Chain A
Amino acid sequence: MEITSQDFKAVSSAKLKDEKLQKALFQAKDGFVVSRAKVIKDLDNFEDIRQAASEVRDHCLAHLDEYLEAWEVRAQASGTVVHWAESYEELNAIVVKIAQNNQVKKIIKSKSMVGEETGLNEYVEGHGIEVKETDLGEYIIQQAGEYPSHIIAPATHKSKEDVSELFAKKHQRPRLNDAEKLTHEAREILRPHFLDADMGITGANFMIAETGSTVIVTNEGNGRMTTTMPRVHVAISSIEKCIPTLDDFALMMRLLPRSATGQVISNYVSMTTGPKREADLDGPGEFHVVILDVGRTRVLGSELRDALRCIRCGACMNHCPVYQNVGGHAYGWVYPGPIGSVLTPAYNGIENAIDLPNAATLCNQCGVVCPVKIPLPDLMRKLREKQYEKNLKSKTERWSLKVFAYVAIRPQLYSIVTRVMARAGKILGGNSGQIKRMIFVGQDWTKHRDLPTPRGRTFRDVYLNKKKTSKR
């Protein structure tokens, strides 16, 4: 997918003014945040479980080569064809090749963020093969010609009215006005495609080394359909999704649905190990897994390594005050919110997403809800350090910092400068006690809010003077 993260400022400003989007974001926030808070309460030792999951993810990453090899051996033993891809183009080409080898004309697809990264749909369609997204949210945005704004709720930016209008136009049917009817219309439209598609593409939430399996976690059942109905099933995944054992998977499943949608478990957890067995009456005759490494190994060897623990639940974005107000599209690439602010520059180059690590208050709401304890604010700060080292910060910011540092390390000068600021600020504020307008960097403050005035004297001056007087 093309990256547009450099437009963050302009796009986010526009999103703040988009009333329909604001309403949708408000609903989503309420839904996700409240449900998660409720459902984690039924685990008496939620924090221990979080800690354990984070340690298991670290352990996987520390032995990732061995676990991938172990996974591969077992996957192949069960008849899975394993492919590796080092670029988006390579992954896309592998998928098309599989399709062509099997005379595939129509593909049904269950949501895959890796597929969003590689721009798979466009590529496949460019080769004359039809692709139908089947997750309702993904279907909606595919029909609208957009891309996901959230990793688990791709169409969360769309209102019911948007969907209503879109479906009426695309399905050539009378306009429907409630979510249930719209959902069932999509079901009706998509059902024949499930039945006659030649190939299914899914992502993989996890690859399990113990058994050579891939797993997808869904609520709609489209994942199970996609892995069951067509003749060929291709799962696309990336190297960091590998976990050791079925028990480790059970551990992740106590966290993933709770953190994502506030469910105890998602409706359908479908684990695939190889193609259909000889005696099976249903299931695909061929099963392929394509494993991607774009950016992952680079991040593995960097100080951003912890980000690879991510299990893609979306809790960080759901709880982020910035995401909650600007939505996912402002971030300009596949992964929005805090994890996106780390992965986007990490995978695409820090110079291509300057704003993202900075557009955060570092409030750490993301860090405390992350089910695998990724220290997201620390990682964003490390990216800021990289920007500083590489001279990618704006002149204003560099100079402000330089001036600040020059003064702050010289206590004498500092006490004079602050004395002047306290005095001048009080005068500027006048009787109202608020400064209404400032210039230079300050104007970006007073454009939006007042600045309470200083009180005329610094604490230092008041306190030291008081001490002197009392000694006398």
Chain B
Amino acid sequence: MSARENILARIRSANKVGEVSDVIGGSVTDRLTSHPESPMPDLTWDTNEKFKQRCEDAASTLDEIGQVGDVPEAVNRYLTENNLPTSLVCWPEFENLTWSDSNIQVESRSAVGDDKVGLTGSYCAVAETGTLVLLSGQDHHATTSLLPETHIAVVRRDRVVKTMEEAWHLIRSEVGSLPRQVAFISGPSRTADIEMTLVYGAHGPFRVHVIIVDQ
């Protein structure tokens, strides 16, 4: 018999021993298809305010703009104010915005090791934790939010949901099966592995800048 068969057989016989606690009960198929929610914490807060608060808690910075067309201006403002490099790689959806008024060099491609700034959208965002939800895909390179030292993410205000459960609900209804990677990003990369001292920029971005767009 294969390792697989052996292991499954051992699980079955182990689960026949004594009392197996299962308060939830019900069938596996039922749970997998109905995916019931567990007890939720208090969610009566304002989604927008909570998201902003949690982003700041996670050490992301924030900007709010009226429309996607304002992204170049907002990006320019952020990079200039923070003395950051002004060339960036972005997801294709931002390539054709009007960048000419800014002095930013824009390339639409996957990021490589030397890129300093990456501009991405986000599928949705979770207010409870200040989290960006990025789905990998044809026009959504995973490296853009990962390799550069600065990650700028554009989030549409109406795509900010309260909880991770709501994000899953959206993905199930809009996307269906999951893409290769679902990345939940909450602020810049960090570590505290040396004497519990918090340091940003462990392996991923040093900075995450979230631009919330109204329309």
Contacts and interface: CB of A to CB of B under 8 A. Distances in A.
Chain A partners chain B: yes
Given A250-B165, A282-B141, A227 B8 contact: no
B177 A211 contact: yes
Contacts of A192: 113
Given A84-B4, A268-B204, A254 B41 contact: yes
B194 A182 contact: yes
A179 B195 contact: yes
Given A53-B38, A56-B38, A245-B31, A222 B199 contact: no
| Dominant secondary structure of chain B at its interface with chain A | loop
B45 to A, nearest CB: 10
A65 to B, nearest CB: 4
Nearest to A138: B193
B1 to A, nearest CB: 10
Given A48-B39, A136-B193, A160-B195, A224 B183 contact: yes
Contacts of A267: 58, 185-190, 204
Contacts of B196: 27-28, 30-31, 153, 156
A137 interface: yes
Interface stretch (B20-28, B75-83, B96-104): B20-28
A90 interface: yes
Contact of B146 (A69, A219, A228): A228
B195 A24 contact: yes
Interface hub of B21, B38, B129 (most chain A Cβ within 10 A): B38
Contacts of B11: 64-65, 68, 239, 297, 300
A272 B24 CA distance: 27
B164 A282 contact: no
Interface string B192-215: 111111010111110000000000
A60 B164 CA distance: 21
Contact of B24 (A28, A59, A178): A59
Interface string B28-68: 10011001111101100000000000100110000000000
Interface residues of B, number: 79
Contacts of A195: 112-113
B206 to A, nearest CB: 9
A159 B183 CA distance: 33
Contacts of A302: 17
Interface string B109-138: 010110000000000000011110000111
B38 A52 contact: yes
A270 B15 CA distance: 31
Contacts of B54: 264
B146 A225 contact: yes
A163 interface: yes
A246 B126 CA distance: 15
B146 A253 contact: no
Contacts of A221: 146, 189, 202-205
Contacts, number: 282
B164 A134 contact: no
Contacts of A180: 197, 199
Interface string A129-158: 000001111001000000000000111101
Contact of A160 (B57, B188, B194): B194
B38 A49 contact: yes
B178 A211 contact: yes
B173 interface: no
Interface stretch (A4-12, A273-281, A330-338, A426-434): A273-281
A220 B180 contact: no
Given A70-B28, A300-B14, A45 B199 contact: no
Given A56-B38, A65-B12, A279-B137, A250 B164 contact: yes
Interface stretch (A183-191, A340-348, A446-454, A458-466): A183-191
A62 interface: yes
A458 B7 CA distance: 59
Interface string A206-248: 0001110100000111101101110000000001000011111
A266 interface: yes
A293 B181 contact: no
A60 to B, nearest CB: 9
Given A159-B195, A222-B202, A246 B168 contact: yes
Interface string B133-165: 000111001110010000000000000000111
B14 A297 contact: yes
Nearest to A77: B177
18 contacts: A49-B39, A64-B11, A84-B4, A183-B194, A184-B201, A187-B202, A246-B168, A264-B130, A265-B58, A265-B184, A273-B181, A277-B137, A277-B138, A277-B179, A280-B137, A283-B180, A291-B7, A300-B14
Interface of B: 2-4, 6-8, 10-15, 17-18, 20-25, 28, 31-32, 35-39, 41-42, 54, 57-58, 110, 112-113, 128-131, 136-138, 141-143, 146, 163-165, 168, 172, 177-197, 199, 201-205
